[in-house]
Every structure is written in C-alpha cells, then in structure tokens.
Structure 1
Amino acid sequence: MSGKAGPSKKPKTYHYHTEWEEDFFFTMSFSKCVCLICQSTIALPKKGNVERHFRTVHKNYDTEFPPKSELRRRKVKELKSQLSGQQSFFSQLTSKARAATEASFRVSHFIVKNKKSFQDGEMVKEAFVEAADSLFRDFKNKPEILASIKALQLSRSTVTRRSEAMAEDLTQQLWKDIADCECFSLQLDESTDVSDTAQLCIFIRMVFTDMTAKEELLTVLPMKEHTRGEDIFQSFKNFIEKTQLPVCKLVSITTDGAPAMVGRSNGFIAKCREDDDFPDFLNYHCIIHQQALCAKMLNMKEIMDVATKIACSIRARSLQRRLFRAHLEKCDHSELLLHTDVRWLSRGKFLQRFRELLPEIKEFFREEFDRRFQDFALLEPVATFMCYPFQEDAEVVSLASKVATLFHLNSSGVEDEILTLQADIQLKARAHGQFWNLLTEDKYPNIRKCATFLTALFGSTYLCESAFSHMKIIKSKYRSTMTDEHLEVCLRLAISSYCPDYASLADSIQCKSSE
C-alpha cells in the first residue's frame, strides 16, 4: 500500500434553483432557503430536502393549487408578498428599538457631561414628552413621535449602565492613543472628596508623530488610607501593572510641592526614580503653586496698615485734604490715593506710589524667586531656541550641551543637527506655524526628539485642579454615597475630549424599547 494519502475530497456545494418557488413553495431570504407556507428554513438548499418538506408537510397544496397553474403562481406571489411584509415589519421594529437605544446613550452622555444625577434621566424624558405635546400638536404623526419619545430608556439604572459603557468606550480610545503616541507626560495631584476619600487625579499629555498633542484624564485612584509618598507611588505602580501603561514613553511628571510628592527620600518622585521600570524623566513643581508660594512671601499687612492709617488721617478731614493738595502743587502727584478692601480704589493703585522701591524689592526677594523657579530656568534657553531655531546670535555649543543634558541626548549630534538646520533655507522660510513635523527622523533624530519632548511637557497641575472642581460638583453632599468607580466614570465623561461611538454602543447590546 502506498504511504501517500489520497487527495482530499472537496465538500459538495448546493445551490438554490428559482423553479423551486412554484414546484415546492420555497424561496431564498437573507441567504436562507425559506418555506413560503410555514416560514421554516432548510439547512442545505438541496432539492431532496426541499421536496421532502413540501411532500410531508404541505402535500395538500398540490390538490388546492395544481402545478403549473395560474392559481398556483398567484398563490406563490401572495405568499412572497406576505413574507416581505413580515420581514419589513420586524425590521422596522428593530430599527426603531436601535434608534431609541442610541438616543438613550446620547441623552445619558448629556446628563453626565453636565454633572447631573443618573436619576435625572426620567426627568429629562418627562420634560421631552411635555414639550413634544405642544411642539408637535399639529403634526399628523404626533402619536408616532410621542411613542418614540416614550420608548427612550432613561431610568436611573439604564443611565448608569449607559454611562459605564460610554466611559469604557472613551477609555479604549485613550489607550489606543497611548499606544500610538511618541511620548507622554503626566501631572498628578491629590484632593479629598465630600466623603473624605483622597482621590489621586492623573492627567496625561500625549504627543504624536505629526507633533500634535492631546491632553486627557488618565485615571482617578482612590487613596483609602495614608497619602504618603510611598502610598501614592504604590497605588500608581499597581495601576501601571494592571493596565500595562508604557512608562518607557514617559518624559516628565508635574506635581505640586507637597513633601509627599517631592520629598527627597520618600516622596513620590524619588520612589519613581528608584524604580528600574521608569526611564530618566524630568519633574516640575507646578508653576501656579510656585507663584502662590512666592506671593505669600510678600506679606504687606504691616505696610498696608500704616499707609492706610496715614492716608485716612489726611483724606478724612476736609481741611487736611485741602492743605495737602496745596502742598502737592509742586509735585508730580495731585492727590493721595485711598484704599480699603470694601470700596475706593484697588490696592495695586494705592501701592503704585511705592513703585520707586521696586528694584530693591526685587533684589531683596531674588534668592527666594530663583529657588522657586530654577527647574523652569534650566528649560528656558532650550524652549526659547525651539520657538525659533534660526536666531543668529544663538550659542550653538552651549545650547547643544543644555539640550543633550536635559533630554539625555548626544551633544555632538545635537550640535551638528542645529548647524544643519540653521543652514536649511527652505525650513527657515517655513519656521512659523507647524514647523517641527517637517523635520525627518533620519536627518534630525535628536532635534525632533527634543521638540517632541518639549511639546509633551506639563507646566502646571491646572488640569488636576480643574478636575477637582468638577469632582466637587459631581460628588456633592447630595451624592456622597457615589462609588469611586462611578466617580471616575462621571469625571471622564464630563471632561473628556473624546466622543463615545454611539452607533457601535447601540449595536453592541440588545435593543429594547421602554415599556
């Protein structure tokens, strides 16, 4: 016997034949062989199967409607028309149910985006019905319109489920962008909600190959116990491991100046730098927080109290005021400004009289200011160059060294690319607007990477602070029992720039109309 196996037998293919309509009352509908009499389907469009069904179940049709007769042809046409009508009816019902489901997604998104309660869906539906009763009063299809509105699924549980599904859809869009981006930066801040749960808010800024950037809420991590640096780091580390966040793309982290974040030994930033999974990254103390801290150094209460007392002693008495104005006739100023916290002129105008001392004040507070903004001072010359790289007085060697140090690049390679770039007349002519995406990866790898990293940087934790304002509205004292999961769902839907794919979401679930 030969050891070779014989050729495999091809499966036989069966095809429907049009003559079966009159012979056996069968037709093809949606790729299925369907009996026109009882709507039964045959698995294989095989003549033996079709004939067996007809002869067994509907054999009396040969007597009532003789083969090849006009009566039989009319019956076949009638049955086909009935089948089409039934299919059209069920198709319309399915289409209406799907439209109602998609509409419920849209309304649910609108409710949550405006930071309203899940249970407000029923109120929106009732308002819609009341408005429709007047708006469509003279419409012939008013009953159909009202029926469609009443079919909307907007109960509390439905809005909750819709919100969860849409938040999941937005999250998938976010993770697709994270996978596609060249690099990203993070900003973190922590605040307590109305139930005294510490919520760690994390935003991400992604930069893509065309040098466009997108900022989105990455996650909200509830801190149930302590909020020390190691606790924040461990919570974030668990999130990374769970979601497989590609931290290799991380460029910088921006936080506030709290010891839990920037502590030298046990702060969050220090813990991240100790972890081998994290690359070398930049970290910044939010510039808004630094400005606020510097403003606290200017405690002008004693000066303001004395100056205000003197000004009031002159301005409050008519004689004193007239004598003082006469005294000022030879001066540049004709009147003494008055300030109170309630009315009159602003503190800024009142203190304008002391502006001669501004140079001394600046010099007095310069160690404090230099210390506060030193992280941004390192970035300033690089950022200035990247805003317009064709400055004739640019110190290329020094600049290349700073770029290489800041972003861990090759100094000589950066220097060569800067010189090549400045000699490129065509690029210089297009230096305004979208410029850095014109640089090719093979010719300017270091400069392009520098531009990408700079685009990804966060200067402040403004997005976190803004998100906390939204959080205070969403999880108010009237919704204090809201779970952490639903808080993240509502926050994501409220502030995300992504739009849910309503059509796909409606297709992904079984469409049902409201009773």
Structure 2
Amino acid sequence: TSKNTLQYNKSKDDILSAIGDVQLGANTVARRMTALSEDAMTQLDSDIKRCKWYSIQCDESVDSSDTAQLAVFIRMVFEDFSTKEEFLALLPLKTTTRGVDIYNAVKTYFVKKNIPFEKLVSITTDGAPAMIGRHSGFIAHCKNDPDFPKILNYHCIIHQQAMCSKVLDFDHIMGPVVRIINSIRAKAKQHRSFKLFLEECAAEYGDLLLHTDVRWLSRGKILQRFLSLLGEIKTFMESRGEDTTLLSNTEWLLDLAFLTDVTDKINQLNIQLQGKDKSVSDMISAVRAFNAKLSLYLQQMRDQKFQHFPSVSTMCETHAEPASLNVSKYCDLLARLEREFCDRFGDFEKVEPCVTFVANPFMCVDITDLSAQMADVFCVDPTETEIEIINMQNNVHLKSQQQSSHFWSLVEPDSYKNLNQVALKMSALFGSTYLCESAFSDMNIIKSKFRTKLTDEHLSDCIRVNLSGYTPQYTSLVSSMQCQASH
C-alpha cells in the first residue's frame, strides 16, 4: 500500500523505511483488513448498480469451528458485454442448513445491501437436497418468492461425489484401499520403512496419497497411485506377515482397475470446468461431449476393446485373462452412469438451443421454435424475436463480423433489443461453482484449527481481500485513516 501511495515521492525510500519500523498491533491489522474489505465492497456495489444482469453461485461448507458458511459469488455482465466475477458474501448459518435457512440468509443479505432482484438471471448450486429440493430446497423457495424474477437454475458437475457413490457402488474397493493406506501411514516408523522400500525398488512414486473423504477428485488420484504401487504394496505387506489375499483376487483387481479408469475420466471432466470465467457454454459442451464419450466407452466395453480403459487393459495382461472379465457388470455401470448424466443435466435441453444460437447466430434454425424457447427461458417477446433473427441473419455487415470474439458488442441494441437481452443474460451465467470451492480452500487456510476464534465478520473480510479483483483505492483509504482509532 505504501509503495503505491508514495511511488512518485522523492523521499519514498526514507518514508518506507520509517513505516517499516512502525509496530502494528493485532487490532490495527484487523481494522486495515476491514477497511480494505469495505473498499472492495464499495466498488462491487457500484458495479452491481451499473451492470445489466447478474447471476450468483452458492455453496456451503463447514469451517474449523464447525460453523456452516455459505459462500456466494456474483457474475455481472455490462452493456459492452464485458463480465466480472467477484466474491459477494460469506454468510454464516448458525443453526441448521435447510433450504429455508439458505434462502433466508441470501434474501436478508440482498435486502440489506440493496441488491436489485430484478437483474438476477440464474443461480448455480451444488446438487444437495437443501439446494435443489423440489419443495423445500433453496431454489424452490426463491421461485416461490414474488420478489425474485423468473430464474434459471442448474447444479454443477464439480460436485459429482453423490452421483458417483450412487451409480458406482464400489465400497468393496474403496474400503480396503483406504484401510491399507491408513495401516501403512498410521505409524511413523512403518511409513518411513515403506518409503525406503519404494526408493530401493525404484518405484514410480515415492509414497501413497493420504485419503480424504471429501471429493471424488482425491479418490481418483488415490486409486491411481495405489494401482501404480500395487506390486510394491503387496511385497511390503508380505514382508510384514500381513494378509494379502485380496490383492491377489482377480475379480477385485479388475474392479479396482475399472473404478480407477472411470474416476479418472470423471475427474478430467471436473478439471475442465475449474478456473475463473468458465461460461455455461463451456459447461454444456463438456457435459455433452462426456455423454458422447460414455456411449463410446459402453460400446467398446461390450466389444471388449479396452483402449480407453488402460488400467483394465493392463490388469488383463498382467493379472487376469480377458475371459475372466465380467463385461456385463461394467457395461451396466457405464449405462447407469450415462443415464444419470442425462437425468442430472436434462435441464440443459431447455437452454442449449439459445446457447448454440448466441455462439453461432447465422446457423440454420427453426425461427419459431427458437423464439419460443428464448421467450420461455429469457422472458423476451417471441414475435419481435422472430423478426430480429430474420433481420440479423440477413444483415450483410453483421455476417462479415461473425468470426469476431466481440460480435455481440457490435450488434445495435436498439435494432435487436430482444436478441441483445438474450446474449447479455447468457453472458451472465456461471459455468460451475468452482469459485466457491476455491474460496473454501482459502477459508480453511485463513481460519485454520489454530485460528478458530476468528469472527465471521473478520473471516469474510479476509476472504474478500484475498479474492477480490478490485484494486484498492489507496489514496482515499490513507486519507481516511486516523493515527489513533479511539479518537
């Protein structure tokens, strides 16, 4: 802060040296964090008032003091089609975490901050019943509230552990894998011996990953590491006189290999949608491609072609004959996974034609059907929209600009009022709840087990300062400071 404020001062070095000698108390640091957080919030308030439309993503997790925290992020789109994604709030849920509790917390915050409900386009959540329950979930309460406009809602594939545990019922694999890992890592001496053993064997990896029962992403990595070190693990356990019968069981080994391959594919899909500025078109494209891949995997599994299942292929070559592979069981699991994806993301069918048109407005479309879908999803006038689509697709100037990444900012909003609104609302949609996931990682660092006394307000301030994309207005912040806060 000081460096930026004094960058043009001739005595900058002397002043910075003097500032460096000033001792800041704990309360001073807390006040400075609060001031920085308020400054970022002031800039965010200004952008919310200025934006055309916005969407939010919500997710809930528990901090180190067992307080449920609801993270809320906002994605805003402006008149020039530029977008911003920002941390909006961290709302503590002190008692229960039912849908009504989440709804009350969000609405109370919106009313308190004067956030305009009418600009809200969509809400992205995880797939928990408290969020998407048909009658008592958070989304259901929002849709039943007349203060909320008609909104889109969809849940994110980053939260796929519920789907995986429902479809891929492989507790007989994860249970023994976790038990073996924990037995090796439980005692320091045994863990050191195992790492030394791996080093002597020149193994591919130097250690096993510790299991965390939080995300399937971690399970996939654990299974891959376990499978890569299977031979070394078996030899090490035998040297200690432990039972390794299961590690020689052909059926169990094939199930392990199959689960490793499938979780790896789901994790790849997951990783595709991590990071900032992921749009809903990215999410739909990834999900549709994964559905098509599942169809391919299913057909090839039926034909016992394992080029997309490297772990299964290797296991058949080294530990089992292909004839011992229960193909029908794995085909059934893949078919169930495919159906689950279709059911889970069936809501995309309603918005997908609109997404496709915004991405490629000069494609051949059924104008009547598309206009009706736009009216249903984005509340535009279907009759006017039909004429606007015809005018746009026959506009020579716009056709010459169709490859531009800024195409929609070149479209005259007065001439294409409804299509402009559809494109703007589409730009406001989130592609995942990754930002919430990332915020919870920061929360666990900021409010660690050694800082459980950190208040909810200070935790929110710290996360906002850490995640905010706004540059602090240092000059105004400095001018508002008092030497003695008590005066």
TM-score by length of 1: 0.61
Gaps of 5+ in 2: 176-223, 232-256, 262-309, 317-324
8 Å CA contact 2:168, 2:333 repeated in 1: no
Q: Residue in 2 aligned with 1:384?
A: 356
Q: CA deviation at 1:340?
A: 6.0
8 Å CA contact 2:74, 2:86 repeated in 1: yes
Q: Residue in 2 aligned with 1:407?
A: 378
Q: CA deviation at 1:205?
A: 0.4
| Identity fraction in percent | 46
Q: Residue in 2 aligned with 1:190?
A: 60
**Residue range with higher mean Cα deviation, 379-388 or 339-348:** 339-348
Is the aligned partner of 1:351 residue 2:325?
no
Name the CA shift for 1:429/1:164 in 2 (closer, same or farther; >3 Å): same
Is the aligned partner of 1:423 residue 2:394?
yes
8 Å CA contact 1:194, 1:472 repeated in 2: yes
What SS is found at the alignment partner of 2:227? coil
Q: What amino acid is aligned across from residue 350 of structure 1 in structure 2?
A: S
Q: Residue in 1 aligned with 2:76?
A: 206
CA distance in 2, matches of 1:143, 1:364: 67
8 Å CA contact 2:2, 2:16 repeated in 1: no
8 Å CA contact 2:64, 2:448 repeated in 1: yes
Name the CA shift for 1:377/1:106 in 2 (closer, same or farther; >3 Å): farther
8 Å CA contact 1:403, 1:411 repeated in 2: yes
Q: CA deviation at 1:150?
A: 4.4
Q: What amino acid is aligned across from residue 103 of structure 1 in structure 2?
A: S
Q: What amino acid is aligned across from residue 469 of structure 2 in structure 1?
A: S
Name the CA shift for 1:404/1:147 in 2 (closer, same or farther; >3 Å): closer
Q: Residue in 1 aligned with 2:268?
A: none
Structural mapping, 1:26-425, within 5 Å: 103=2, 144=14, 148-152=18-22, 154-290=24-160, 293-294=163-164, 297-299=167-169, 341-343=227-229, 347-348=260-261, 349-352=310-313, 363=335, 365-391=337-363, 393-425=364-396
Q: CA deviation at 1:377?
A: 2.7
8 Å CA contact 1:104, 1:154 repeated in 2: no
CA distance in 1, matches of 2:446, 2:169: 36
Q: What amino acid is aligned across from residue 150 of structure 2 in structure 1?
A: D
8 Å CA contact 1:188, 1:254 repeated in 2: yes
Q: Residue in 1 aligned with 2:445?
A: 473
Equivalent residue for 1:435, pick from 407, 410, 417: 407
Q: What amino acid is aligned across from residue 165 of structure 1 in structure 2?
A: A
Q: Residue in 1 aligned with 2:423?
A: 451
Q: What amino acid is aligned across from residue 504 of structure 1 in structure 2?
A: S
For residues 66-109 of structure 1, give each alpha carbon's deviation from its aligned partner in whole angstroms, at most 9, with x where no partner exists.
Answer: xxxxxxxxxxxxxxxxxxxxxxxxxxxxxxxxxxxx529989xx
Q: CA deviation at 1:388?
A: 1.3
8 Å CA contact 2:56, 2:123 repeated in 1: yes
For residues 179-217 of structure 1, give each alpha carbon's deviation from its aligned partner in whole angstroms, at most 9, with x where no partner exists.
Answer: 000010011111110000111111100000000110111
Q: Which has the higher contact order (CA 8 A, sep 6+)?
A: 2
8 Å CA contact 1:193, 1:472 repeated in 2: yes
8 Å CA contact 1:182, 1:206 repeated in 2: yes
CA distance in 1, matches of 2:225, 2:94: 47
Figure out how many residues of one structure are paired with residues of the other and give that number. 346
For residues 421-455 of structure 1, give each alpha carbon's deviation from its aligned partner in whole angstroms, at most 9, with x where no partner exists.
Answer: 11112112112211111112211111111101111
Q: CA deviation at 1:288?
A: 2.1
Equivalent residue for 1:462, pick from 423, 434, 448: 434
Q: What amino acid is aligned across from residue 484 of structure 1 in structure 2?
A: D
Q: What amino acid is aligned across from residue 368 of structure 1 in structure 2?
A: E
What SS is found at the alignment partner of 1:287? coil
Gaps of 5+ in 1: 1-101, 108-140, 306-337
Q: What amino acid is aligned across from residue 397 of structure 1 in structure 2?
A: T
Q: Residue in 1 aligned with 2:475?
A: 503
Structural mapping, 1:479-494, within 5 Å: 479-494=451-466
Q: CA deviation at 1:287?
A: 2.6
CA distance in 2, matches of 1:425, 1:415: 18
Name the CA shift for 1:263/1:423 in 2 (closer, same or farther; >3 Å): same
CA distance in 1, matches of 2:12, 2:39: 35
Q: What amino acid is aligned across from residue 455 of structure 2 in structure 1?
A: T
TM-score by length of 2: 0.65
Q: CA deviation at 1:156?
A: 2.1
CA distance in 2, matches of 1:196, 1:504: 37
8 Å CA contact 2:51, 2:77 repeated in 1: yes
